[in-house]
Amino acid sequence: MSFPAIGLGTWQNTGYDTCVESVRTALEEGYRHVDTAQYYGNEEAVGEGIVAADVPREEVFVGSKVHAEKFGLAHDEVIEGLEVTLDRLGLEYLDLLYVHWPVGNYDASETMPAFDELVDRGLIKHVGVCNFSTELLEEAIDHLESPLFAHQVETHPLLQQDDLVAHAQERGYNHVAYSPLARGNVFDLPEVVAIADKHDVSPPQVSLAWLLARDNVSVTPKATSEAHIRDNLEAVDLELDSEDVERIQNIERTERYVERDGAPWLDE
């Protein structure tokens, strides 16, 4: 299965029934990627939504994340954490497992070989990391036998992550943009609004289409309502012209909306 351009993000989607219904709706509307994490506290609901959807499991790309503060990132803790995640989701395997943050007891020389073991055992198909720097990405790659498949990190018109996107393109893995709508802050950006008016589409669609126009980039916007789920999906078919793309690239504001102690960019 190729990696879908758009996935359903489920961060903060913690109302059980709402989460189940949003996952079911997204899959039946045409999404084929669902993103969750141990830290989100909704893996059971996500799993139930996958089962409830009239879509075969093998057509759904499911990703989750192991977290240093939930199970730990030592070798055996990664294995245990993944087994708990599979049980919560009600699945026999994950298409993609990430290191959620390079913090706590994360150690590339111990953590990444555990991911290789999970691939060898058929419990995960692909290896990913989240919130890494280019230096940490290179270190992870050096300690993996499996290819690095994806790096998920906050990316949007106000945090364009040019260096990380370029690294993904150079090294041949997927750059997965989370919070691609900057927690709603792209909705009022004059550049985005003007392009949306030009194409008679919504500002979220413009932000997502701008990201998807970049090589090796996919997106995981979160949405719970059917209307927003559909609106985001339509961005896949929106083609921006070069003038539109350049206009967003030239936005001079830089704003980050996801922070935590130990984040690698705090040392930059």
Active-site residue identified among 40, 98, 173, 178: 40
User: Measuring CA to CA, how many Å separate 63 from each of 163, 165, 207?
Assistant: 24, 20, 23
How far is 137 from 148, CA to CA, in rounded Å? 9
Those residues with Cβ within 8 angstroms of residue 177's Cβ, 6 or more apart along the chain or in another chain: 152, 153, 154, 155, 156, 161, 211, 217, 218, 219, 220
Three-state SS at 57:
helix
Q: At what angle do helices 162-171 and 134-142 cross, to 10 degrees?
A: 20
- Our answer to whether residue 93 is catalytic in this structure is no
Q: At 217, list the tokens.
A: 């980039």
Beta strands in 13-138 (DSSP E): 33-35, 61-66, 94-99, 124-130
Tell me which H or E stretch contains 175: strand 174-178
**In the block, residue with structure tokens 């126009």:** 213
Residues that are catalytic: 40
